[in-house]
Structure 1
Amino acid sequence: MEDPDPPAVPGRMWALGLYKSVVLVLFLLRQNPVQEAAAELFGISQATVSRRWTALLPVVEKVLARQIPDPAEASAGRIVLVDGTLVTTWDWASEGTTMFSGKHRNTGFNLQVAATLTGDLLAVSAPVPSSRHDMHAWRQSAFPEAFAEREGMGDLGYAGSGLITPRRKPPGQERSTGDKVANRSVNALRAAVDLKDWKIFATRYRGPLTRFPLVAKTVTALAFYKKGW
């Protein structure tokens, strides 16, 4: 059988076969290093890292897309927890642009994440600029239709969405004892799944903004693949 990663010609950089090229793409998603660091680790040039990333990321997403379940089917018989998460982007999107989140004082994308009470992932929405609040992102996603027949929960940012949310403090008044008890019960259950173990979500995304939706879909597919869907 032909060696998928043949040895380099003496005096040249190592060639990177298909198997290790896919490993490289997964490494970039998981650890989010600068490409120069990945190049040194894999024994190739930064230009090769860039070419492999550009060529293979859409292939990985396409191959794993079937791992993403239909949200309505995956949530059947379950309570759905919904939360928004901020994925920060590089600082060339600054205050005053549509990418700037006043709440987080940072630039990035808003992703809506749906999970079960036990933290099993159900769905991840397409990204929207983080200048838009969770209620807007919820309405723009497929979640309202997918979870229309499910009991759902969210934080106060989803008030009016039909989800169960904590009770707001009445203007000029204190919350009643019943409201405080109800809010503790809601907040205790809101332990949604966290995708930030994928460092490209947890640390600042440095790539072109136009490519981030593909990154988000690929990480979502990998998260479901890891769970065995």
Structure 2
Amino acid sequence: MTGLTSDQADRLVLDVYAHVDLDPARRRRAVGPYRAVLVVLLYLRHNLSQTLLAELFGCSQPTVSRLITRLTPAVTKVLTPYAEQAADRDLRSTIRVDGFVAPTGDRRKNTYTSGMYSGKRHRCGFNIQVVGSFHGRLVLTGAPQPGAMHDAKAWRESGLAAKFEGRLHADGGPGGFADTAYTGTGLCVPVRRQKGQALTESTREYNRAIASRRASVERVIAHLKNWRLLATGYRGMLDRFPMYLDAITKLEIYRTS
């Protein structure tokens, strides 16, 4: 239901409450410690409305809102060491890079000129850049960018390009594979067919090799979208989206580590 095993959920609750005192006044809690973390996990995993969560847990909608706002950063904080260890391990080998749009709906004035509308994907949202390992596990996500931004620019603006600067082709560097949208970024990409020219057989073979090596990042994105907040339409305040993306990234790494 939460995407985590019972052991993972139990350990997460203990770690969160080692860092957060939910009720310093020791007042009677409307939602107990385990269920409070469960509220956050269900919100991120299934993108349920806060009103529905309040009905499910027998509390008020403002209580659910407070729990999500307060515990989401705590979840991120306690899971950061797991994510850093996984990144240290997985970045020793080649990386796979791709992006997707996390929909937000058309709710801004002048949406089509504000950069949130992706003409390629025909929806409004954030461009999320994803780094995956060769065996199909999430390693990093970048800072969310406007949906209209091209993937190559989003790779640079998200902060991920800076993390790999000088490493993609250096001795001991991880190297990386991506699709043709990342041409010029230093990642290995397929060769584009020039207008009026056919690809040679050796070039086709090279492109097939690139495609087979970057296929694992598609699985990474598919698993990341199982956190439905990123797939079915984020309804919250847009300036809070980076906080939720960070928490989901850490949870997915924790889930698969």
Q: TM-score range by the shorter chain?
A: 0.7 to 0.9
Query: Counterparts of 1:1-229 in structure 2 under 5 Å?
Result: 15-69=30-84, 73-93=88-108, 94-147=111-164, 148=167, 149-190=173-214, 191-192=216-217, 193-194=220-221, 195-228=224-257
Bigger drift between 90-99 and 128-137 goes to 90-99
State the alpha-carbon separation in 2 of the partners of residues 199 and 82 from structure 1. Answer: 21
Q: What SS does the aligned partner of 1:61 have?
A: helix
Q: Deviations over 1:125-148 (max 9, x none)?
A: 111111111111111234334332
State the alpha-carbon separation in 1 of the partners of residues 70 and 147 from structure 2. Answer: 28
1:113 Cα deviation after fit = 0.8
What RMSD over aligned residues (CA atoms) do the two structures have, in Å? Answer: 1.9
Bigger drift between 135-144 and 214-223 goes to 135-144
TM-score, scaled to structure 2:
0.78
State the alpha-carbon separation in 1 of the partners of residues 201 and 120 from structure 2. Answer: 29
Unaligned runs of 5+ in 2: 1-28, 168-172
Q: Identify, as 1 or 2, the structure richer in helix.
A: 2
* Residue identity matched to 2:99: G
Asked whether the 8 Å contact 2:105–2:123 carries over to 1, the reply is: no
Aligned residues: 215
Q: Deviations over 1:140-169 (max 9, x none)?
A: 234334332222100001001111101101
State the alpha-carbon separation in 1 of the partners of residues 60 and 256 from structure 2. Answer: 34
Q: Which residue of 2 aligns with 1:4?
A: none
1:76 Cα deviation after fit = 4.2
Runs of 4+ with >4 A deviation: none
| Identical amino acids, percent of aligned pairs | 39
TM-score, scaled to structure 1:
0.86
Distance verdict in 2 for CA 1:75–1:64, change over 3 Å: closer
State the alpha-carbon separation in 1 of the partners of residues 92 and 250 from structure 2. Answer: 23
Unaligned runs of 5+ in 1: 1-13
Distance verdict in 2 for CA 1:138–1:21, change over 3 Å: same
Asked whether the 8 Å contact 1:72–1:146 carries over to 2, the reply is: no
1:70 Cα deviation after fit = 6.6
Asked whether the 8 Å contact 1:88–1:106 carries over to 2, the reply is: yes
1:18 Cα deviation after fit = 2.5
1:50 Cα deviation after fit = 1.6
Distance verdict in 2 for CA 1:71–1:151, change over 3 Å: farther
Q: What SS does the aligned partner of 2:114 have?
A: coil
